[in-house]
Amino acid sequence: MSEYAIEVDDLCISYVSMKSYSIKKNLLRGRKEKNEYFEAVKHISFKVEKGEILGLVGQNGSGKSTMLRSIAGIFSPNSGTIDLHGHSISLMSIGVGFKPELSGRENILLSGILLGFSEKEIEEHMEEIIEFSELGEFVDKPVRTYSSGMHSKLAFAITAILETDIILIDEVLSVGDSRFKKKSFARIKSLIDNKDRTVIIVSHFNNQIRELCDKALWIDKGEFRMYGDANEVMDAYEAFMDE
């Protein structure tokens, strides 16, 4: 019998946005503009077995990152359920989870605590994280001064060194110079060699999905398109994109 690490059932996520409007005109009208709702994820269901590597594919704006953030607990779904069966989880993503006024070192500590690690455990791995991130003296400068590449390196280093049961990877394998990309790719491969670790990867590099993943989930404009063997899903997705 399969042991699932992640079960997503009928997940729906919507954004609320206000129409741009003139304050003066609306005061004169005596009414407010109605909110607009955008459905980012529409009734998505899937299961990931413990130790499985799932690739999440789709065009820009298809809802991939939104769904990852919901699985990570950053966004609350409008409806549906996400069951992680008590597993610890971490998200590698640019622009998520850091306090811009704090230094890189302080953000390492904060991120580790939010992942459920003790201060002692984080301190034991601090130098390893800093070394992997390649930030050097910048680790003691505010994160708001970092480039997107530096931000990504730090996010990757924290999650790669402070290992959780489930790792969500959102495009960070595509950031950084070629040498860092190779190092990151090698680190991810070593992490997923652990048959008890479950991983979901969002990537626009199709070969990464084929090489790393057991299965793939294709979503389009927030809707389910296909789920199954990674190569079979990628064949269908690439044929669709070539039309």
Report yes or no: 156 and 147 within 8 Å, Cβ to Cβ.
no
Q: What is the pLDDT of residues 152-162, one digit of tens each?
A: 889 888 988 98
Distance (Å) of CA 75 to CA 46, 66, 82, 186 = 18, 8, 11, 30
> Which parts of the chain fold into alpha helices (H)?
23-29, 64-71, 104-114, 119-133, 148-161, 178-192, 206-212, 230-242
- Angle 104-114/119-133 helices, nearest 10 degrees? 130
Q: What is the pLDDT of residues 14-44, one digit of tens each?
A: 987 655 445 555 555 555 556 677 889 999 9
What does the alpha-carbon distance between residue 108 and residue 160 come to, in Å, rounded to a whole number?
Answer: 12
Written as tens digits, the pLDDT of the chain (243 aa) is: 679 999 999 999 998 765 544 555 555 555 555 667 788 999 999 999 999 999 999 999 899 999 999 999 888 999 999 999 999 998 877 656 689 999 999 999 998 998 888 999 999 999 999 999 999 999 999 999 998 888 888 988 898 898 899 999 887 666 667 788 788 778 888 887 788 899 999 988 899 899 989 999 999 999 999 999 999 999 999 999 997
What does the alpha-carbon distance between residue 142 and residue 94 come to, in Å, rounded to a whole number?
Answer: 16
Pick the closest to residue 168 from 89, 94, 230, 113 (CA basis): 89
Domains of the chain: 4-242 (3.40.50.300)
